[in-house]
Structure 1
Amino acid sequence: MRKLTLALFLAVYICSVAVHSRIRQKRAWIIDSFNIEEENPGPFPYLLGTIELDTNYKVNFVLHGSGVDKEPKDVLEIKERNGQIWVHKKVDYETFQVLQLTFEATNVSNNQVDTRLGVEVRILDINDHAPVFSPPHYQATMNESTAQGQVVATMNATDGDDSQTPNGTFSFNIISVTPKTDNVEFFFEPTGASITEIFFRGCLDYEKAKKYTIVLEAKDHGDKVQLSSTSTVTMNIIDKNNHLPEITGQTGPGRVKERESGVEVLRVQVADKDSPGSQAWKAKYTIHGDKEKYFQIETDPKTNEGVITVLKAMDYEEQTSRNVSLSVANEVPYFSCEITGRPAKRLWDVKTFNEGPGKSLPGFPKLYPVTIAVEDVNDPPEFVPPVRKVGIMENTKLGTHLCTLEAKDPDKTFASKFHFTKGEDVDNWITVDPETGEVFTAKVLDRESPLLKNSSYSVILYVVDNGEPPMTGTGTLIIQVGDLNDNLPILEVNTLGMCLLDKATMTNITAVDLDLPPYSSPFTYELLGDVKGKWNIDPTRGTTVHLVKEKTVYSGVHELQIKVSDNQGLSLTQNLSVTVCDCTSTPNCHLRRSSGAQVGSTAVSIMIFTFLLLLAIILMAFLISCKHEKKMIMTDDEPGWHLLESNIETLGTDCKVPAKITQVESIQTLKAKPNLISTHDGISKQEVIQQNV
């Protein structure tokens, strides 16, 4: 407020001084109003005006400020003596609208500034700028299914001329649309002095126009001349699904051989007016009425055809043909837009439909019937039943009849005779009569064979017809083998080690029997010979029992005989070697027998040679002294069989005692099982069993 008061005071003072001077001294500043029109072409320099001064003394004029010594420099010049102002070059209104200047009058006699006054020179605007769009070109993309009234583009333009004059104001106008179609119109609505939005009304149709080019003009309102510019809007339309696909025909055999799968049987063709290759054009087929899922249909990506393939083999005897229906749709939902009126208002009257979940056009999808014929071929014969089980006891004599195979031919057209043959029979257990299908054993069956699983042996069988070509059916024969008590219980180990202590000690012994219960465990154990007060078994019955050593037994190797009987009383007498030693020096007595002090390589060689020589002598003595004829094994009650006396502190006798077998009455025969166990008289178990039989 204080500054405003001071300014008013100065203004009043200056005016009063000027009036007073003019009255008293009859002199005054005569300053015209100066205007420069921008872009004045000259010629330069030209006189802008003259400052006149009524004074009785000489005055020099000086001009400072914009247009002289400030930007834009060197535009104006004042003549020092006569006050003429000259213009030397053009001035751009869009850069400088007003030139701020200072005039000074200096008394020549005393070089004192007489008067200083600020003056403005206005630059007059001319219409030298057309409205300019930003950007000059505009790209827009719109789906064909877009509803009318959507903004296509927002356009912006500016004019460098004075916005307060007609030169700097402008209007928009659509001057052309290419191509011209009857289904759509474009219009604009200004949203400000320099911004407008372009819209469309009607229904976009990709098939009528894939893109539109819209030329928008902006023209100013200049008095003398109107300037304008244009911007191009290119609106690209993305094709959507406004045409329904329709099945037009089919190609292919339309038939399949029974039992055939994975083959193409039919192709269906479809017509669609949408853009080829687009999602609106790509067909998506569905099969109806195929509950068993015999078929599948896929789209050929190149031709858009529906390709029907057989997934599951079919049987001519069940059905000679299959009837299904097909429908087709597109990968994207269907829509439609129809113009019903073109009223003189912002938007037209249109009718639209958009497919969605649970929403479809009445009468769609349309069903296209298809029939696939099934061709009869020669079917393979079938075993009845396909898996047959038969039971037989082991050790049954060779050539025993097992069963008679049965088969049928499911073919009605190609019914024929057939014969049987054997497939996989790992151990060659059976023979098959090719004509009658009778199955016989080819050897004595053994339940303990390692080829059996859960006492069952499997054989693959074939039945072959005489069709063209011959067809083969496959079956399985499972032979379930019953168990007999034809195996002896034997010790798992026959060499043990025990520690020498001042009290009775014990260790475990276990027997095994390849037979199944009740022909195997629990076993009964019995020590034979002079063992009273030295050795005993506790308990005597079970699978694993305790061998008890009394404290009266001294260190050394002790040869014991143990009779092991199975649950049916079938027994085997076996030798058990027990080494007793002082465990404080040797933790494992059993190893002590076979180990000794380490010796040099020369000593080892001598020992090996001596051992081989001794072995040869022992073998010769054994052949001479122990050779005898194989005879029927006697029971324990018969004469001629006895245990040889042996000092338990020594390694035994020259000839080992034969094992004894007690046979129960229920056993009819015993099988020979070589290499399972050896008795100690040089007679194998097989020989023992055969002699007993």
Structure 2
Amino acid sequence: MEMMFFLCKFLAAASLLHSCFKNTTVDSGREPTESKHVEPFRRKKREWVIPDINVPENDSGPFPKFMTKIKSSSEEKVAITYQLVGPGADKAPEGVFTMDRRSGALYVTRPLDREKISRYVLLAHATVKGSKAEEPMKLVINVVDQNDNVPECTRTPFYGNVSESAQVGESFMSITAEDKDAPNTDNADIRYRLKTQKTHGPKDKMFSINPVSGLISTMAVGLDREMQSKYELIIEAADMAGEGLRTTCTAIVSITDSNDHAPRFTFTSVSASTPENEVGREVLRLTVTDEDDLGTPNTNTKYTIVSGNQGGHFSVKTGPWKMEGMLTTAKAVDFERDPMFTLLLVATNDAPFSKSVSTSTCTITVTVLDQNEPPFFKPPLIHRIISEEPPLGSQVADLRAKDPDTSRHQHVRYALHSDPARWLAIDKNTGSITVKGNMDRESPYIKDNKYTVLVLAYDNDPTNLTTEQTTYILRVPSHPPTFLPGKWLATSPGWTPPRPKSAGLNSSTPATLGIVMSENMFQEGLYQVYFKERPQTRTAEQEDLHHARIHRWFSSVVNTRLLVSGVVQFLSGAVCVLTTVCHSCVSYDCSVAMTMPVWSSLLFMAAGCVAIEVQRKANKLKIIILMGVHLLSLLVGFSLLLAYCLSSQQSHALNTRKQLVGSYVAKGSAVAFTLLCLLLSLYIVLLSWRGLRRYGSATVHVRGYDRVMQEPDDDRGPLMERVDSV
């Protein structure tokens, strides 16, 4: 039973296959075409297919040349008309391909060029009396490439640069060529070959080329820009892996410079001279030569002193030309110490050397020229203390100046350059200073207890160079005053005060003296000791002292308080103006009657400016003006503030709560800042009144003094005058 079942299934399958292929036909190698009995001109499935057609380019004909033939399965039943459309048929380029309307044969009419058009896509139509008999069939025609294009170099000549110190195998440029034939085929497979090296170098073959990539590399060492700066190479490019069509191009190789030559001094030994005691003087200019490329770091030169400059007296720098060195003095040279220097210089380049080279050196012999130098004192300042009345002819100082020019055997002479009181004399040969006049400690030429004398020393050289010596002579009394703790007035023994003329003092008592003095008793007591004069009770100096005290009070003691008060008052007045105007405009339609605090605020701002000016530089007149302005500000400000607060003018109706709140805030701010200005004015008036009361009076801090006598030889006495208040 099972065998019968499988046999029946096999026979059914065979019958089905026979029915599907019984009408299939094949035409000249084309795919089989299935035929069915369907209604005329209405086919639901395409029954004619043709594969891609490959046509070689550059075919020699004859033309038109048969390519293939298409056939409809309905051709045996009805008359079919064939038509070819598409680029190459009825579109540009037109007429390349044609088709026989009756037989369906396809022809090419001319040679094809793949480099122009490599593929054509056409449609073949089959019609019966203008109606479609078949679906259009797509015809793809591929143009097969032929090796008909010579490789072309992308440019010619090619330019490249390689350093003269390049090593073997160093790549520096590449050659490229293109082939219009089909890529990735032998027709476009290019190979390169170095055909000729037209410029000869140290070797016949200095370069090589990679046949595939076209990279040019050095093949040998020995490139020398100074011998040969350019090479011309002929490169051959061939397709078909080097066996096909060929072309040539030129490569120009420029040899770039490397620092393979050291600079050379024009002279290896040279002599020069320079005067002593001159810094920055140019001693010598050195020139070098270099075979490398000029104007590059390979020839720009720098110089180093390698020996002979232990003291650092010389320096060398590169000149503007970059190939010259300027030797100058960095320190003053001394002929008496070092009459000659021998310097060794070496020259190198800014760029490091590309290979080991020997550097060039130059030996410079510098001779120091002797100059006449002025004598000098050591030490340059001399202090001497002498008694108040030294005897005439007594020696004050014995000066000795040294002449550095030891080789000249010169003599030093001395002279007084400045002796304003003409108290001294000097021996021009020995430098001994003696007293020739009566010296007075109270002389106006005594400054800070010192009498200054300028002494000149010069040699007998015709140039007459001189040096200057300053001598301070300090006069000290034989019995210097002594100061003890407490408020005392120092006196000097033997001082007799003048008879007092002040009213209220007992002029018949010689041991008692009443003197009206200002607050600084210590300074005024010294004034009496050294100048034997009594300060006046009312002088121009005391007036200046009162002004100075006022200035000190306002510019130092209350400086910050007065400045801050003035600035705050100015700013508060400005804010008060703004808030008053806002309140008047919001609530009273900008009524002038409600802007009364504005006028007082402007006055407060002016008063603040006056306070700032007074703290900068105060005097009595400015203080009075300051007090007057602030008192006026207090009066006007308080009156206008009171009128503003008690004004009965009705405000217009405010529509929103925000407007009502804004009106109250503006009015409150105006009142608050006006009160602040009033308080600041009151504070400034109090500060001003306090300063004037303390330092404006001419009779403040008056002190009286009683004379206490003491014998000159009594060292146990008081030596002081006790202070008693008047």
Select 2:186's aligned residue among 154, 166, 172.
166
Counterpart of 2:647 in structure 1 is none
Q: How does 1:541-556 map to 2 (within 5 A)?
A: none
Q: Which runs of 5+ in 2 are unaligned?
A: 1-16, 36-47, 496-502, 507-518, 543-552, 554-619, 625-697, 715-726
The residue that corresponds to 1:296 in the other structure is 315
Report the Cα distance in structure 1 between the residues aligned to 2:415 and 2:23, rounded to whole angstroms: 141
**SS across alignment from 2:463:** coil
SS in 2 for 1:221: helix
Cα drift, residue 152 of structure 1:
0.6
Residue 401 of structure 1 is matched in structure 2 by 395
Unmatched segments (≥5 aa) in structure 1: 1-8, 24-28, 337-352, 354-360, 490-508, 520-526, 531-542, 547-562, 579-586, 596-650, 668-693
Q: Where in structure 2 are the equivalents of 1:121-520 lying within 5 Å?
A: 121-134=141-154, 138-163=158-183, 165-177=185-197, 179-182=199-202, 185-189=206-210, 195-203=213-221, 204-221=223-240, 226-228=245-247, 230=249, 232-249=250-267, 254-287=272-305, 288-302=307-321, 304-336=323-355, 353=356, 367-383=361-377, 385-394=379-388, 396=390, 400-425=394-419, 430-441=424-435, 444-445=438-439, 455-483=449-477
Give the direction of change, closer, same or farther, for the CA distance of 1:143–1:435 in structure 2 (3 Å limit): same
8 A Cα contact 1:34 1:48, kept in partner: no
Distance in 1 separating the partners of 2:33 and 2:397: 154
Query: Compared with structure 1, are the counterparts of its residues 292 and 223 closer, same or farther at alpha carbon in structure 2 (3 Å cutoff)?
Result: closer
Corresponding letter in the other structure for 1:312:
K
1-side partners of 2:296 and 2:399: how far apart? 63
Aligned 8 A contact 1:252 1:267 in 2: no
Secondary structure class of the residue paired with 2:172: strand
Q: Check conservation: 1:417, 1:466, Cα contact below 8 A.
A: yes
Deviations 1:525-573 (CA, angstroms, capped at 9, x unpaired): xx9969xxxxxxxxxxxx9789xxxxxxxxxxxxxxxx97999999988
Q: 1:394 to 1:41 in 2, by over 3 A?
A: farther
71, 78, 82: which is aligned to 1:61?
Answer: 82
Deviation at 1:290, TM superposition (A): 0.9
Whose strand proportion is higher, 1 or 2? 1
Cα distance, 1:242 vs. partner? 0.7
On the 8 A contact 1:570/1:661 being kept in 2, the answer is no
Q: Structure 2: how far apart are the matches of 1:21 and 1:374?
A: 119
Distance 2:454 2:111 in 1: 113
Provide the aligned length of Structure 1 versus Structure 2: 495
For residues 491 and 121 of structure 2, the distance between their equivalents in structure 1, rounded to whole angstroms, comes to 127
Which deviates more from structure 2 when the two are superposed, residues 166-175 or residues 33-42?
33-42
Q: Which residue of 2 aligns with 1:676?
A: none
Deviations 1:142-190 (A, max 9, x none): 4444433322124444322123543222211223445331267222235
Shift of 1:412: 4.1
Aligned to 2:514: none
In the aligned structure 1, how far is the partner of 2:711 from the partner of 2:460?
Answer: 54
How many Å apart are 1:197 and its aligned residue?
2.2
Identity %: 24
- The answer to whether residue 117 in structure 2 is matched with residue 96 in structure 1 is yes
**Is the 2:173–2:216 Cα contact (8 Å) retained in structure 1?**
yes
CA contact (8 A) 2:161 2:256 kept: yes
Distance 1:98 1:49 in 2: 15
Report if aligned partners of 1:32, 1:51 keep a CA contact under 8 Å in 2: no
1:78 — aligned with what?
99
Q: Provide the aligned C-alpha RMSD in A.
A: 5.4
What is residue 555 of structure 1 aligned with on the other side?
A: none
Whether the aligned pair in 2 keeps the contact of 1:218 and 1:228 (CA below 8 Å) is yes
1:665 pairs with 2:684: no
Residue by residue, what CA displacement relative to the aligned partner does 1:608-631 show, whole Å, maximum 9, x if unpaired? xxxxxxxxxxxxxxxxxxxxxxxx
Normalised to the residue count of structure 2, the TM-score between the two structures is 0.55
Amino acid aligned to 2:317: E
Q: In 1, are the aligned partners of 2:236 and 2:246 still within 8 Å (CA)?
A: no
Q: State the 1:292 CA deviation.
A: 0.9
How far, CA to CA, are the matches of 1:453 and 1:233 in structure 2? Answer: 92
Letter in 1 for 2:326: V
C-alpha distance after superposition, 1:621-672 (max 9, x if no partner): xxxxxxxxxxxxxxxxxxxxxxxxxxxxxx99xxxx99979575269xxxxx
TM-superposed deviation, 1:35: 5.6
Of Structure 1 and Structure 2, the greater helix share is in 2
Q: Offset at 1:331? A: 1.6
Q: Residue 665 of structure 1 aligns to which amino acid in structure 2? A: P
**Conserved? CA contact 1:571–1:662, under 8 Å:** no
